[in-house]
Structure 1
Amino acid sequence: MLKLNVKDETSRLRAVVLGTAENNGPTPTAEEAYDPKSLEHILAGTYPIEPDMIKEMDAFARVFEKYDVKVYRPEVLENCNQIFSRDIAFVIDDVFVKSNILPDREKELDAIQYVIDQVEPSKVVKPPEDVHIEGGDVMLWGNHIFVGTYKGSDYPDHITARTNIQGVEFLKQLFPDKIVKEFDLVKSKTEARDNALHLDCCFQPVGEDKGIIYEGGFRNPEDYKYLVNLFGKENLFHITRDEMYNMNSNVFSIDTNVVVSEHNFIRLNTWLREQGFIVEDIPYAEIAKQEGLLRCSTLPLIRG
């Protein structure tokens, strides 16, 4: 049996599901794009190709190997993008929560059923139909669960709005002892530089008391201030609109002092090293074209 344990974003990682870029399928049509950044690259003819993405994910897998992390990969489905395992499920404490994702991605969950089968069945939860929630919007910090959402009345029209208020309420009921704090995110179907697809596209904690943040990703200035007050401004690395677009806040922590980052994030990686972090920098710029990066590609199962 798998004894799940995830209480934060940065404790020592022991086991993880890493997505796969194999048999990724043809470049989507403009109509099939899930987000404005993918659409941009589809239209420009620069959408990433499978061999390049496989290479990038292999580099990520080698870092996990180096740190002796147990890595599970999804079963490869034909012509299916299975890179972003963070979308399909997440673990809080010892509970495995299946996401209610876009309907045509449901089969991605089937591809990790062999992992779910190793979890105590009473610890596997599937939210009700009206609850939308994706792992990229869910972040653990001490006694907090941070949740990205979208409170605009046009929520149903936004394919980029992935976690609804019912999702926030669901987590409050499931974890009554935790402080569930939602953040209203900026969404755009047409401009990737103004679209925080998930919370981890504009914020993520690193280490024991630091974080990476993009102020413009929050619709409500009070939500941004909440994090500044919690972490302290001096502990937050503020990224620019372009850095947000390039996914600078979507790094991934293997330990409180080890961060996997994209090797083009020069300004961020310099800051991390100055703060005493070991930065494992790898190429991931092709995958980033789909508005997802390192954290999006992972589903942590055991930390600590």
Structure 2
Amino acid sequence: MISLGAEAMDATRIFVDSEFARLRTVVLAECEFRAPDAMPLPADLAFLPQQASAAGSQTPGRSLAESHPDVQRAWEAEREALAAVLRRHQVEVLRPRKLNAAEKAFAGARGYANFFTRDPFFTIGPFLIEGSLRFVYRRIEVLPARDLIFDWAMRTGCLYVAVPQPAIADDDDGGAGPFLEGGDILILGRHVFVGQSGLASNDAGIRWLANLLRPMGYTVEGVRLRPDVLHLDCALSLVRPGVMVVCEDAFLDGVPSALANWTRIAVGLDEVAQLAVNGLPVTSDIYITDPAFAAVGEALARHGVAVEYVDFAISRSMGGGFRCSTQPLLRAD
């Protein structure tokens, strides 16, 4: 791991050392979603839990807030509950703005999302990177966060770059990309794992990232996943040094060899869509998950991890958990 002294900590306000370094500043997602009039192909939505159809079904042309106001309120309450836990652990919580009328009008029948900050931008070491999202309805999702992250980048002098815009496609698979989504990226010091299931990040995005980070001494490793697993963080959570929550069946080539000697808290493939793996380390000793996954929490407790439980049923029904809902700007011990 990369250790920051007190002087460096004051100067470096955007930096992510690992998945379990102390979380100091985080962007927590808003709760805006309007489904596309023509949803993606069923195969592209295989990662969603079965109850997603109930939470996400909407009248065409209307947002979730308009079609299911009760679900919207519950969703917002979940995110506020998570914010409260984070603040109790001295984490600075930032929120992106809401989508404006012009952005919603531009999205039109393609729909829009402003609901999972993990994917549209991400942080690796001193790099703040705007991603490139495969689903068309998510491609303006970075805009509500950009006002915030642009300001932070300009004030801190971090390395602020963006993945090239994806090519315009005339087929159903989203085109050639490049695609690179934050949910696929797990950081372990200067070793970066990037998931590749065919639903999100692709080979072009991984090669772009490797080319960017190589001069800084980083190794980027592509990790192939089953085609019904959206992101790497749905199958693997690095909780603390030597301890991980993992669904081994989600990996086409096995768990990465760099993690071969880690203790494995196993989760079944049937729990991946429920987001059982998608918890959030606050430090290497504190982890947030849903009470639905008490078995995971009890296993972590046996390894010295204090577990905080937040009911996240609505967020999970929308396809994302605690890690999906947050993006760190500063994670360092």
Tell me the distance in 1 between the aligned counterparts of 2:190 and 2:123.
15
- Contact persistence 1:27–1:42 (CA under 8 A): no
Q: Deviations over 1:188-214 (max 9, x none)?
A: xxxxxxx21000011110012210110
2:16 equivalent to 1:6: yes
1:153-173 Cα offsets, whole Å, 9 max, x none, are xx5xxxxx1111111111211
Instruction: Report Cα offsets for 1:93-124 as digits up to 9, x if no partner.
Output: 11111001134323321111222222037711
2:26 to 10, 16, 39: 16
Relative distance call for 1:271 and 1:39 in structure 2 (3 A) is closer
Post-superposition offset of 1:294: 0.4
Alignment partners' CA distance in 1, 2:256 and 2:24: 33
Cα 1:275–1:72 change in 2 (3 A) is same
1:226 partnered with 2:263: no
- Structure 2 portions without partners, runs of 5+: 1-10, 57-67, 105-111, 166-176
Distance in 2 (CA, whole Å) between partners of 1:301 and 1:287 is 22
> Measured at CA, do residues 182 and 225 of structure 1 come closer, stay the same or move farther in structure 2, by a change above 3 Å?
closer
> Deviation at 1:55?
1.1
Structural mapping, 1:215-294, within 5 Å: 215-221=248-254, 224=255, 226=257, 228-229=259-260, 231-232=261-262, 235-294=263-322
Aligned partner (choices 220, 227, 230) of residue 197 of structure 1: 230
2:128–2:158 Cα contact (<8 Å) kept: no
Residues 103, 242 of structure 1: alpha-carbon distance in 2 compared, 3 angstrom cutoff: closer
1:180 is matched with which residue? 220
| TM-aligned CA distance change 1:72 to 1:118, over 3 Å | same
Query: Structure 1 residues 288 and 277 mapped into 2: Cα distance closer, same or farther (>3 Å)?
Result: same
- Which of 78, 83, 97 is equivalent to 2:129? 97
Hey, what's the Cα distance between the residues in 1 that align with 2:327 and 2:285? 19
Pair 212,264 (structure 1): closer, same or farther in 2 beyond 3 Å: same
* Aligned equivalents of 1:26, 1:97: Cα separation in 2: 25
Distance change in 2, residues 1:26/1:132 (3 Å):
closer
Q: CA RMSD in A?
A: 2.3
After TM superposition, the score normalised by the length of structure 2 is 0.78
1:119 aligns with 2:129: no
Match of 1:192 in 2: none
- The number of equivalent residue pairs is 280
Between structure 1 and structure 2, the one with the greater Rg is: 2
SS in 2 for 1:291: coil
Match of 1:163 in 2: 201
Q: Which residue of structure 1 lines up, in the alignment, with residue 64 of structure 2? A: none
TM-score by length of 1: 0.85
Structure 1 CA distance for aligned equivalents of residues 18 and 178 of structure 2 = 23
Residues 256/225 of structure 1: CA separation in 2 closer, same or farther (3 Å cut): closer
Read off the aligned partner of 2:89 and give its amino acid letter: Y
2:82 aligns with one of 55, 60, 71: 60
- AA of the residue aligned to 2:235: C
Instruction: Flag structure 1 segments of 5+ consecutive residues without an equivalent.
Output: 156-160, 188-194
Equivalent residues of 1:30, 1:39 under 8 A apart: no
Shift of 1:61: 0.5
Distance 1:261 1:219, change over 3 A: same
Match of 1:191 in 2: none
Contact map agreement 1:35 1:290 (CA 8 A) in 2: no
1:149 aligns with 2:196: yes
Given that 2:21 and 2:283 are in contact with CA atoms closer than 8 Å, whether structure 1 keeps it comes out as yes
Paired position in structure 2 for 1:158: none
